[in-house]
Structure 1
Amino acid sequence: MKNILLKAFIFIMLSAITIICNAQVAWIQRPDIGDLTRDGAVGFAIGEKGYVLGGRCHEPGQFLNDTWEYDPQTGAWTQKADFQSQSRSGAIGFAIDGKGYFGLGYYSSNDIYYYLDDIWEYDPLTNQWTQKGLFPGGSRYAALGLATETKGYIVAGSDGSQGVKTFWEYHPDSDTWLQMPDYPGSAFVRLSGFAIGGNLYLGCGGNDSLNEFWQYNTLSETWTERTPIPVARFSAVGFSIGNTGYIGTGDAGLISKSTSDYSYNDFWAYNPGQDSWTEMVVLNSGSGRSGAIGFSIGQKGYIGTGTDYYTTWGMVNYYKDFWELDFSVGITDGPLSINNSGQLTVYPNPASGGYFNADIVLNGSVGLLSLISPNGVIVLEKQVECSSVVTIPVSHLPSGHYILRLNENGRMKAAAKITLQ
């Protein structure tokens, strides 16, 4: 009887470790956003809360005007005051100085499409919506909204008949817009991007998928072309954590029409200082998606909702799920063994001499060792033998807490936290 109880206890503990470790190196699923699937919604963060608004629900087929607030401390969604205007999809949104801004987009009725030019302000303290002045750039949908600490921006989009590349800057204190230099990229619609400091970074987009990428300096009011994202896409998600930007998921468009890969689940991290892209862990929701929402709160990124094109052109799934990216919790110092199938020991830890050793034990023949930065970026990958000691040079990497992950046949077998000094 004691042996049975002991085996049961060990099984439960190993299962718990598997959940924690996978959460550490991938995405953690959080509660769904309400009861309705949707795509083309808007997401942004105000302070320590996240917000999701509107979009189109394809079951039963309606445009939405609901507002949802996410509290990462409790992991709970709370429905707030409905948006007090026309329900819509393909809108823009951003947050400035404790308030959210939402507008533009489209809706349809009796197979006729209508495009909007209104802008609204949401105050989370009063839970109220206030209409602001109309957008001077005219009605449009599929534009991109971004914001720095004090100003908002709307770039590109379509009025339903043609695309535009105009670029506008919003001053919330005076409720005024200034037209800035046009976006120089090729795409008109479905761009993705993020803001870091006083710079905006944006690109991708189009109807056939593009991978170009641009920087806008809000101080000098100039555009500079940057290194393209390695995989072209449109309707992707973008957000920033600290000084790193992230773009992921999205639609492959016509470039993959002959294959089954219409939507992506990959994520890429952009380093502005090096003007470089690094592939990171994929969204492990089981499929790709486009038209999702994304935002960041503190050191965590979030993505949810959207659609997934698969197998046959035009067939889609719709989502209401919500995922959190967090590489700062869950793994303790030292070795972790998962289901007794692999073991990983790192030393010295902390690594202070510009290197550390990884002692690896696998049941199979070959494994893949990955070093993941505090921002979730894979900074090193190395193929390893089943039982070996590998020396990893790290003198070129900044200090911080990293994750060392050991995979075999595409599945994680062990992981450990390593501190670089």
Structure 2
Amino acid sequence: MIHLPFRFLSAQSSQSESVSSETPFSTHKKTSRVNWILGLLCAGWAGTLIGCSTSDTVSTLGDWTVKSELEGVARFGAASFVSGNIAYMGTGADASNNRLKDFWAYDPSRNAWTQKADFGGAARNIGVGFAVGTKGYIGTGINANGDRLKDFWEYNTATNTWKQVTDFGGTARQAAVAFTIGTKGYVGTGFDGNYLKDIWSYDPTANAWTKVASYGGSKRMGAVAFVINNKAYVGTGNNNAIVQKDWYEYDPAQDLWTQKADFTTDQSTIARSNGIGFSINGLGYIVTGDGTTATKDVWEYNPSTDTWATRGVFEGATRSYGVGFAIGSKGYVTTGRNGTSPLDDLWDFDPTVAQVQ
């Protein structure tokens, strides 16, 4: 049996940005049919695909697959965390900007969502989440009255229950970043009426917040963060509506921020706000968000070389205020807002598989 070493993807409407299942026999676009037929002809004529391609086909590693959409309402500005091999997500705002507090778990092994106990605090959006062990934490954000918040809540994955913990140590804020290193969670940057750069660590054992070294770059909101080898990497976001291009590494052992290489002119589209970051197998990824251009490009960061490389394009609708996480060897993107329309789709990302455009 001959196995084609690539997939042809069905084109998506630039108007509807609708989600469709991926299949080589898609009839959404004539070009998809033509590409598929050409692939079969090449296989039949030569027995292999060596030297056979179409002039407009570009292959690169990094492929997306549509998965089961969230069973709750479409939303943007949700918060999430991962415990074990399960992702948890809740809060956010719907199409009418109503704040939400429903809470969901996604199991990639079953490709299924399960509704859990509602978030314990007030409904909100643009908050943050992180996990330490079997406990998850969600806090900050904006409530239905437009008030910024600083309360924090702990979710017990074993008992499906919430309890309030000590309020966040900094000011009430929105659009902060959060990450976990070891046994502590970290929250910082964001907007409290002013742009911010302070960083705070949370110790669940002591139920206490401690201010650590402030972010090494400029103040910002809507940044992204991911963790690789017990070091956090934080960047992008905006400061006074200007998207940022600096990039910093945080070492909690030294409580030290180290500036890494700025984005170059060729990497200008990395700069964005309200995007998504996650890490897989020692590499970090940034996707979606608001930028100077539509941000469907996928960027991969290698901390050992302090360099960036493109990894194809996100195959769902463009979006900001989405949720991203990694489980095992795959990354995931879900929800968010396309223009004024909230989303409920879910996509997984495999950086080892070639994407053909």
**Among 65, 68, 71, the residue aligned to 2:104:** 68
Q: Does 1:137 align with 2:174?
A: no
Structure 1 residue ranges, 4+ long, deviating more than 6 angstroms after superposition: none
**Among 76, 81, 87, the residue aligned to 1:50:** 87
Partners of 1:102 and 1:79 in 2: CA distance: 17
Q: What do residues 63-103 of structure 1 show as CA deviations (whole Å, max 9, x unaligned)? A: 00011100111100001000022100110101111111100
Q: Which has the higher contact order (CA 8 A, sep 6+)?
A: 2
* Partner of residue 151, structure 2: 118
Offset at 1:149? 2.6
Q: How does 1:304-323 map to 2 (within 5 A)?
A: 304-309=334-339, 316-323=340-347
Q: Does 1:213 align with 2:247?
A: yes
Partners of 2:131 and 2:120 in 1: CA distance: 18
Seq. identity, %? 34
Q: Which AA in structure 1 matches 2:71?
A: G
Offset at 1:14? 6.2
* Partner of residue 186, structure 1: 218
User: For 1:61, what is the secondary structure of its paired residue?
Assistant: coil
Q: Which AA in structure 2 matches 1:281?
A: G
Partners of 2:306 and 2:112 in 1: CA distance: 37
Partners of 1:244 and 1:30 in 2: CA distance: 23
Q: What do residues 156-185 of structure 1 show as CA deviations (whole Å, max 9, x unaligned)? A: 1122x2122111111111111111111121
Q: What do residues 350-394 of structure 1 show as CA deviations (whole Å, max 9, x unaligned)? A: xxxxxxxxxxxxxxxxxxxxxxxxx44xxxxxxxxxxxxxxxxxx
Q: Which AA in structure 2 matches 1:250?
A: G
Q: What do residues 268-310 of structure 1 show as CA deviations (whole Å, max 9, x unaligned)? A: 110000000010021111x32111000000101000111123x
* Partner of residue 300, structure 1: 330
* Partner of residue 274, structure 1: 305
CA RMSD of aligned residues (A): 2.1
Q: What do residues 89-128 of structure 1 show as CA deviations (whole Å, max 9, x unaligned)? A: 110101111111100111233xxx2011111111111000
Offset at 1:323? 0.4
Q: 1:404 to 1:78 in 2, by over 3 A?
A: closer
Structure with larger Rg? 1
* Partner of residue 198, structure 1: 230
* Partner of residue 148, structure 1: 181
* Partner of residue 249, structure 1: 288
Q: 1:304 to 1:404 in 2, by over 3 A?
A: closer
The answer as to whether partners of 2:98 and 2:144 remain within 8 angstroms in 1 is: no
Unaligned runs of 5+ in 2: 1-22, 27-35, 37-58
Paired residue total: 297
The answer as to whether partners of 2:62 and 2:354 remain within 8 angstroms in 1 is: no
Offset at 1:226? 0.9
Q: What do residues 320-346 of structure 1 show as CA deviations (whole Å, max 9, x unaligned)? A: 1110113xxxxxxxxxxxxxxxxxxxx
Partners of 2:183 and 2:281 in 1: CA distance: 17
* Partner of residue 239, structure 1: 278
The answer as to whether partners of 1:187 and 1:205 remain within 8 angstroms in 2 is: no
Partners of 2:203 and 2:261 in 1: CA distance: 30
Q: What do residues 223-280 of structure 1 show as CA deviations (whole Å, max 9, x unaligned)? A: 111123422100010011121111111101xxx3xxxx4x411111100000000100
User: For 1:107, what is the secondary structure of its paired residue?
Assistant: coil
**Among 260, 265, 278, the residue aligned to 1:226:** 260
The answer as to whether partners of 2:290 and 2:320 remain within 8 angstroms in 1 is: yes
Q: Which AA in structure 1 matches 2:219?
A: A
Q: Does 1:176 align with 2:208?
A: yes
Unaligned runs of 5+ in 1: 1-12, 310-315, 327-374, 377-402, 412-421
* Partner of residue 8, structure 1: none
Partners of 2:214 and 2:109 in 1: CA distance: 40
Partners of 2:174 and 2:97 in 1: CA distance: 19
* Partner of residue 365, structure 1: none
Partners of 1:203 and 1:25 in 2: CA distance: 22
Structure having the larger proportion of residues in strand? 1
Partners of 1:277 and 1:120 in 2: CA distance: 36
* Partner of residue 96, structure 1: 132
